Amino acid sequence: MHIHITGICGTFMGGLAQLARGLGFEVTGSDSNVYPPMDAQLRAAGINLIEGYSADNLKSSPDLLIIGNAMSRGNEEVEYALDRGLKYTSGAQWLSDYFLHNRWVIAVAGTHGKTTTSSMVAWILEYAGLRPGFLIGGVPGNFGVSARFGELPFFVVEADEYDTAFFDKRSKFVHYRPRTAILNNLEFDHADIFDDLASIKRQFHHLVRTIPGNGLIVSNGADQNLAEVLQMGLWSDLEVFCGSATEFAPAYSSQTLKGTWRYKNRPNNLVDPSGADFDLAPQLCGVHNVSNACAAIAAARHAGVPVAVGVQALSEFSGVKRRLELLDVVGGVSVYDDFAHHPTEVAATLLALRSDLPDGSRLFALLDFRSNSMIAGTHIDGLASALISADGSLLFNAKPDRLDLTDLCRAVEPKAQAFFSTVEMVEHLKTLCKPGDVVVCMSNGSFEGIHAQILSMLISKSS
């Protein structure tokens, strides 16, 4: 069977392509920007990549076209497929039809923390000898790839609430039908496809409706929005996790809980539903990662992994690329890369770094306004308070015709400044940073290659 994937170089679609190759299918794919590291992963898997979208890419008449959710009407391959009546589907639907029907699916959903928590779950199962398959929106350090076929029955999937395709506006996660589901948190995001928070809650409840009666939901007990989602109807077992100093959301009082988990940061530890106390790996940086670890251990226990084994596994967890990843230390300046692009994520990243900052060292935040929600100005109000813990904020605005950052800079004055060029940002950073400082680049895209520019500048500055 020949499958062609339109929009293959995204993490989800690229991982899906590797799974299709694992099933023995011939796989080709096209994308407007064939770029590393995904292109190397795909070529190593024997997948033919084509730069650019063209009707010529489909004239070999593939048996099935998988259309990425970034594709829309007007795309040359989409129009050719519709005109010729080619068989097509979405990535999420293909995953469900060809891959997940005979699996114990562990799905990780939430506005934040999906990639890290999915990676933790996969690693715990791997450490326990269960050889899970997985499809994750990042590259876990313990595996080095974003997707793996694995062995039956377990499959870990990052369950994204973004829409499925131009012809299917449901969230991708409704296709996955998990037996175990983590609900990490729920906030308003993706303003380009959701009108309001209520519309996102409905999609999350669509996910809840697909979980069987013998399944388990592991939910953030402090999140009122998730509690309200579960009040819409719950047919599965429910366990909740929450910080030791945090109250459970009031709406959970009407839920019948199978178990509760408590965690705390510094020292990192958790208490399981039986009351047993476990120390977590001290290298888990930030309370958000301790929370992620608690959820992952709870989900893995549902799959049969004892809590003590999960705790031990996470002591050897290597993190995820682009999730608070230390790129290098040059001239005494530490440079991090992080995927944060929402105020809650930005605040969590900066607080995690600030908590480990030595006396006299400073923290500089470089933030890329790239996502559709950020360009639309949806998160402007929340970013002022999120950036407050940085000693300096350099804001990259590549779309000044659509976004004005003047008010945000004033709100964080004098510590924030907007730039229209990464070259100018790096030149300004050069005048600020000194040995002992920490620089973190936050973006859900390439950030115009600023990471390499910063490291090159620091090398030059220190020589």
**282 vs 144: which has the higher pLDDT:** 144
What contacts 312, CB < 8 A, 6 or more positions away?
Answer: 127
How would you classify the pairing of strands 259-264 and 269-271? antiparallel
Pick the CATH number of 102-314 from 3.40.50.1370, 3.40.1190.10, 3.40.50.1440, 3.30.1490.390: 3.40.1190.10
Closest residue by Cα to residue 292 from 425, 426, 432, 119: 119
- 269 membership: H or E segment, kind and range: strand 269-271
Give me the CATH code for the 2-93 domain, please.
3.40.50.720
Q: Go through 205-232 and write b for each residue having 16 or more CB atoms within 10 A of its CB, e for each that does not.
A: bbbbebbeeebbbbbbbbbebbbbbbee
424's tokens: 């100018």
Can you tell me whether residue 150 is helix, strand or coil?
coil
Q: Are 282 and 267 in contact (CB under 8 A)?
A: yes
93-106 residue pLDDT tens: 999 999 898 899 99
Whether the per-residue pLDDT at 190 is higher than 80: the answer is: no
139's tokens: 């590259």
What contacts 414, CB < 8 A, 6 or more positions away?
Answer: none
What contacts 10, CB < 8 A, 6 or more positions away?
Answer: 31, 38, 68, 70
Whether the per-residue pLDDT at 139 is higher than 90: the answer is: no
Q: How far apart are CA 108 and CA 122, in angstroms?
A: 11
> If pLDDT is split at 50, 70 and 90, which confidence band does 36 have?
low
Whether the per-residue pLDDT at 405 is higher than 80: the answer is: yes
379's tokens: 């998160």
218's tokens: 């592991």
Say what the pLDDT of residue 237 is: 96
Pick the CATH number of 325-462 from 3.90.190.20, 3.30.70.890, 3.40.50.1360, 3.40.50.300: 3.90.190.20
Q: How far apart are CA 113 and CA 116, in angstroms?
A: 6
Please give the single-letter amino acid code of residue 197.
L
In order, the DSSP letters of 36-72 are: TTHHHHHHHTTPEEEES--GGGGTT--SEEEE-TT--
Bridge partners, 419 (sequence order): 396
Whether the per-residue pLDDT at 24 is higher than 70: the answer is: yes
Say what the pLDDT of residue 191 is: 63
Q: Are 179 and 214 in contact (CB under 8 A)?
A: yes
Say what the pLDDT of residue 86 is: 96
Q: Are 230 and 240 in contact (CB under 8 A)?
A: no
Say what the pLDDT of residue 231 is: 93
Q: Mean pLDDT across the stretch 173-180?
A: 97
The domain segmentation of the chain, as residue ranges, is 2-93, 102-314, 325-462
Whether the per-residue pLDDT at 374 is higher than 80: the answer is: no
Closest residue by Cα to residue 108 from 153, 154, 159: 159
206-262 residue pLDDT tens: 999 999 999 999 999 999 999 999 999 999 999 999 998 888 888 887 778 899 999
43-85 residue pLDDT tens: 888 898 999 999 999 998 899 999 998 899 999 999 999 999 9
What contacts 195, CB < 8 A, 6 or more positions away?
Answer: none
Q: Mean pLDDT across the stretch 373-377?
A: 75
What contacts 353, CB < 8 A, 6 or more positions away?
Answer: 285, 324, 336, 363, 438, 440
Say what the pLDDT of residue 325 is: 85
Q: Model pTM?
A: 0.82
Q: How far apart are CA 164 and CA 173, in angstroms?
A: 8
> If pLDDT is split at 50, 70 and 90, which confidence band does 286 have?
confident
Say what the pLDDT of residue 334 is: 92
Q: CB-based burial of residue 195 (10 Å sphere; 0-12 exposed, 13-18 middle, 19+ buried)?
A: exposed
